[in-house]
Amino acid sequence: MKKVKDFLKSEQFKELVKYLIFGVLTTVVSLVSFKIFDALLGQRLYLISNVLSWIFAVAFAFITNKLWVFRSKNTEKKVIFRELFSFVTARILSLLIEEGGLWLLIDVLKLGQMQPVKIFSLSINGNLIAKIIMQVVVVVSNYVFSKFFIFKKGKAVSDES
């Protein structure tokens, strides 16, 4: 029980909670922008809608992950460029995973053909359901990439204040 209490008080737990909070907010940015682009471009262009929503989500996620989740306060251009390059590269990998998953769920498993469901006043179609499923996969993989490869603790200036 002491180990559980110690973990709940640890910086690692606080970081994980912040990542989950900002991950949810990033997911909201991704889902809302996907829904907008899906409506504007049409459901047949879901992969393009997904890439456009990805751009918005990645920009939001980089800023929140750098400043508040992993607290990388280093402002050296070289470090910022390395973090940004690594972050975008990892997100491209997760985008490819997501695009493949969307194709599998929407085109192969025909989730895109299901009738929209109304939840409150929001109409949720098969494309959006597939997007939500893939967001779970993306959030988990992005945490691993960010924690262990991008915002390394040794590279950031300590935030002792």
pLDDT for 109 equals 95
50 has pLDDT over 50: yes
pLDDT, mean of residues 4-22: 90
Interval 64-88: pLDDT, tens: 999 999 888 888 999 999 999 999 9
Cα 140 from Cα 80, distance rounded (Å): 23
pLDDT for 154 equals 54
What value, to the nearest 5°, has the Cα angle with vertex 29 and ends 25 and 34?
145
160 has pLDDT over 60: no
Look up the pTM and report it.
0.70
pLDDT for 7 equals 87
pLDDT band of 119, cuts 50, 70, 90: confident
Cα 61 from Cα 19, distance rounded (Å): 10
pLDDT, mean of residues 43-68: 92
pLDDT for 32 equals 94
Q: Which residues pair with 123 in a beta bridge?
A: 118
- Within the chain, strands assigned E span 117-119, 122-124
- Percentage of the chain surpassing pLDDT 70? 94
pLDDT for 156 equals 40
What value, to the nearest 5°, has the Cα angle with vertex 82 and ends 87 and 25?
30
Give the mean pLDDT of the chain: 87
Whether 116 contacts 124, CB under 8 Å: yes
Could you count the other beta carbons within 10 Å of the beta carbon of residue 9?
Answer: 10
